[in-house]
Amino acid sequence: MLNLIDEICFKVAEKVTPSKEEKEKINVLINEIISKLFIEASKENINAEIRVEGSIAKDTWLKGEADIDIFMRVPPTLTRKDLEIKCLNIAREAFKDYKIVERYAEHPYLEVWIKETKVNIVPCFKVEKGKWKSATDRTPFHTDFMKEKLNETLKREIRILKKFMKGTGLYGAEIKIGGFSGFLCELLTLYYGSFKNVLEAASNWRKKQVIDVAGWFSGKEEEAYDLFDENLIVVDPVDKSRNAAASVFESKLWEFVSASRMFLKKPSLNFFYPPLQKILSEKEISEKLSKVNLDLLFLVFGEINAVVDVLWGQLYKTENALKNFLKANDFKVFRSASWSDEKNLNVILFELEKESVFSPKKHVGPPIEKRKESEDFIIKHLYAEDTIAGPWIEGERWVVEKRRKWNSAKKLLSFYLSNNGGRNIGVASKIAEKLKKNGFQILSWMEARELYKYREDFAQFVSKFIEGRPIWLT
């Protein structure tokens, strides 16, 4: 008799395994794509080996979610510029009648939508193992390695793990997610043997966890600790100098550990098929904020001219810089988050103890034993206009009570963001350029309600932020 976990895995496997018909349909499409690329490459006298990679090549993709990765392997005698320009132009010409989006990993690649299927066309060099000229050169070797190791049972377990990662919001190595790539899921399953074994192992992971499928560091894990900085080290089986888990955010690593523990304790299909995010009413949000006496501040701006991965990198960098800037100016920031529709609307959200703070600021000076610093402190603060009281001696140090330069977080950000787009306070370059050229809005929750009312995607983001917990934690 199956236990609950086995029952759930059986149901999930049935749902996520592609049918024979779907596989045949994908294979027909792949042949069409490769043929088109060969024709265009021949016109440009580019000797390219064109092959399918990724989950399609390894038969580990999820039903109804076939992303086709087509790699154009060109001779290493070509320059990096030729790789990027010529190969992408070939792909653009081959699929000029379809929707094309330029994406960016280590170098640009194209995303093309053909017959409702996403196709990634990625240029790389055809090199010998270990003689990499670009990061994507490893991918064909990854595919060959996994195809040699996989059987039907492992493919099933990989699909279950991938669906678990998707359901818990942890799937995807792109900057927006910072989670577990498909290849990483495959390596974990190969190493531990099954989906359940992966979760049981992850439940006990500690910092500097080493997973070494190929045995590069067998008996000498200390060398891996020295080579890699990350807390999850999954050594690339075709390149011992690379951590296949390097792109996993620290928070996503520990979310996976926690989600694994929770699933094993309380198994549920909700980990794979979570309920939709409930959109809170405006009244519910206002009441929640009032109850905890917190304020929300929204930085809102328009389209950033950048590929998606660069956009999210810019958003996260700016979010972190502004959060630190607010803290440095004595505004207590509890949480922050970034959101984008990846078209023409971007938002960075801050949860503050108070948007407006009128209490004076206590400024602690040097120890009394430091004569010169103490004299300078007294001279600077004794008759200063913003000194409210002091200086006085508290314990071993001078202390003074100062009037705040900025009482409003909104006014503080507005002032500095209006000055060169905030570059001098750490705003990322492309966002600063946008703020400087086209302006921005800084909105309180009351002012953001109109946007909340008419943009369901934005409302879902804010509702999830207000709830403040992972979707799998129930």
Residues sharing a CB contact under 8 Å with residue 159, sequence separation 6 or more, in sequence order: 12, 13, 16, 17, 60, 61, 62
Q: Mean pLDDT, to the nearest integer, of 428-433?
A: 95
Provide mean pLDDT across the span 18-25. 94
pLDDT given at position 44: 84
* Residues 224, 212 contacting (CB under 8 angstroms): yes
Q: Is residue 6 part of a domain?
A: no
pLDDT band at 385 (very low <50, low <70, confident <90, very high): confident
Decide if 102 is inside a domain: yes
**Res. 204: pLDDT tops 60:** yes
The residue among 164, 215, 208 whose CA lies nearest residue 185 is: 164
Residues 125 and 159 both lie in one domain = no
Q: What is the CATH number of the domain that holds 321?
A: 3.30.70.590
The pLDDT > 70 percentage for the chain reads 99
105-110 long-range CB contacts below 8 Å, 24 or more apart? 105/135, 105/136, 105/309, 106/134, 106/135, 106/136, 107/80, 107/83, 107/134, 107/135, 107/136, 108/84, 108/307, 109/136
Q: Are residues 316 and 459 in the same domain?
A: yes
Cβ atoms of residues 72 and 122 within 8 Å: yes
β-strand pairing of 441-444 with 295-301: antiparallel
Least confident of 233-242, 338-347, 394-403: 394-403
Same domain flag for 86 and 230:
no
pLDDT per residue over 119-150, tens digit each?
999 999 999 998 998 889 999 999 999 999 99
pLDDT, residue 106, reads 66
Same domain, 463 and 431: yes
Please enumerate in sequence order all residues whose Cβ is within 8 A of that of 329, keeping only pairs 6 or more positions apart, or say none. Answer: 405, 406, 409, 412
Q: Report the pLDDT averaged over residues 221-235.
A: 92
Same-domain status, 291 and 440: yes
Q: Answer yes or no: do 40 and 76 share one domain.
A: yes
Q: Are residues 239 and 157 in the same domain?
A: yes
What is the reported pLDDT for 384?
Answer: 87
pLDDT at position 1 is 47
Smallest Cα–Cα separation from 161: which of 75, 55, 279?
55
Q: Kindly tell me if the per-residue pLDDT of 2 is higher than 70.
A: no
pLDDT, mean over the chain: 92
For residue 383, what pLDDT band results from cuts at 50, 70 and 90? confident
pLDDT at position 320 is 97
Alpha-carbon distance values, 253 to 112, 114, 293 (Å): 31, 34, 32
Question: Is residue 318 situated within a structural domain?
Answer: yes
As a whole-number percent, the residues of the chain with pLDDT over 90 amount to 68
- When pLDDT is averaged across residues 104-119 and rounded to a whole number, the result is 83
Per-residue pLDDT tens over the stretch 317-363? 999 999 999 998 989 999 999 999 999 999 999 999 999 887 787 88
Same domain, 197 and 329: no
Contacts of 274 (CB under 8 A, 6+ apart): 167, 168, 471, 472
Determine the distance from the C-alpha atom of residue 302 to the mean position of all C-alpha atoms in its chain, rounded to a whole number: 21
* pLDDT range class, residue 182, cuts 50, 70, 90: very high
Ranges 44-48, 338-342, 442-446: which has the least confidence: 44-48
Spell out the alpha helix ranges (H) of 274-357: 282-292, 308-328
How many angstroms separate the CA atoms of 277 and 6, rounded?
27
The answer to whether 102 and 94 are in contact (CB under 8 A) is no
Residue 472 falls inside a structural domain: no
Query: Both ends of the chain: CA-CA distance in Å?
Result: 28
192 belongs to a structural domain: yes
Tell me: the pLDDT tens digits for 62-87? 999 989 999 999 998 888 888 888 88
Same domain, 445 and 309: yes
Q: In terms of domains, do 118 and 96 share one?
A: yes
- pLDDT computed for residue 105 by the predictor: 65
pLDDT of residue 83: 83
**This prediction's pTM:** 0.89
- Whether residue 276 is contained in a domain is answered as no
User: Can you tell me the mean pLDDT for 405-412?
Assistant: 91
Residue 51's pLDDT band, with cuts at 50, 70 and 90, is very high
Distances (CA, A) of 165 to 33, 338, 471: 29, 21, 12
Q: Are residues 119 and 27 in the same domain?
A: yes
Using CA atoms, how far apart are residues 46 and 78, in angstroms rounded to an integer? Answer: 10
For 125, the domain range is 17-134
